[in-house]
Structure 1
Amino acid sequence: MSYTPFASAQPSSQASAKTRQIAHLAQQLQLLAQRTEQLEQLSATTAEQASYMRLLGGYHAAWFMASQRVMTPGDASDDQGEAQGQQGQ
């Protein structure tokens, strides 16, 4: 039997490599957990903002419908003609 330094050093180097890999994996998992929590917070904020955007869209739709009634020239002349007809009677 011959003694080889490489053969005896190999198990300890594998153990240290495994330890480093496990430490790196733990660090990556911690980072993933932090980013998942941040994503959850951002998703909640986005959902809240979406409800406000829905309300804002409703307001804009109401403004556009109201402005259509005010700005349509045909309706304005009909209303004025009716008003003058009623005043003349």
Structure 2
Amino acid sequence: MGFEEMQKQGLKPNTITYNSLINGLCNNGKLEDAVNLWDKMVGLGLKPDIVTYNALINGFCKKKMMKEAKKVFDDITKQEFLMHNVRKGGWRKGLRC
């Protein structure tokens, strides 16, 4: 079943579905399509995971698009930093209870 067929049937693609499609697009050098799909995924409220990030970074690196690869890497770093601070803040609150 194709992506469009899934949606027509009322099935909602999840992060794993998007990861598969983004990875396939990146492996075939269709990075613009992969980025557009990434944007759609995020716009629907789905969160990219490490698989999503790796697919994009690998795709950009294969095409020698290092600025774009670094931008994705920086996004991961920013997300991890934010999550670390959220966890740390929650842990500190727990100590005060």
TM-score higher than 0.5: no
TM range (shorter): 0.3 to 0.5
Higher relative contact order (Cα pairs below 8 Å, separated by 6+ residues): 2
Bigger radius of gyration among the two: 1
Q: TM-score w.r.t. structure 2 length? A: 0.34
